[in-house]
Amino acid sequence: MKKKSYFCTIGIPIFCTLLFFGCSRERPLSEKGGIWTVYEKECQECHKADGRSSLIGRWFFKAPDFTDTKWQDNASDSRLIIAVANGKRKMPGFKGKLKDEEIVDLVKVCVRSYYPPEE
């Protein structure tokens, strides 16, 4: 009996906390390691952790929604890599600031990871 109540008061809250943080999408992307640390530092401000940008970003600056499968299908690797390297309208170019391989990985690993969208 005593053992059970101990589980309820301590065990369940701990279990729920772990579950919550395990499922929460608020975890920093840099936890995924590798190129995601660059995404978090350079790209997340505009494109957001979920890749969908903000409403303002999408409406006023035409930032793409990386989870939009139609957008992904129409966007070739070369077009996206050139856009990130040279910049495109409101987006600054990252050539020189980031290594070429990093720009390629940002597109091939990060941008593409949003398709199909994570649940």
Q: Kindly tell me which of 27 and 97 has the beta carbon lying closer to ligand HEC.
A: 97
Q: Interface residues for ligand HEC in 70-109 (CB under 6 A)?
A: 75, 79-80, 83-84, 88-92, 94, 106-107
Q: Phi-psi bin for 99: left (phi > 0), alpha (psi -120 to 50), beta?
A: beta
C-alpha span between 114 and 43 (Å, rounded): 14
C-alpha span between 110 and 5 (Å, rounded): 45
Question: Contacts with ligand HEC: how many residues (CB under 6 A)?
Answer: 23
Q: Kindly tell me which of 23 and 55 has the beta carbon lying closer to ligand HEC.
A: 55
- Annotate each residue in 41-70 with x if it binds ligand HEC (CB under 6 A) or - if it does not, as one string: -xx-xxx-------------xxxx------
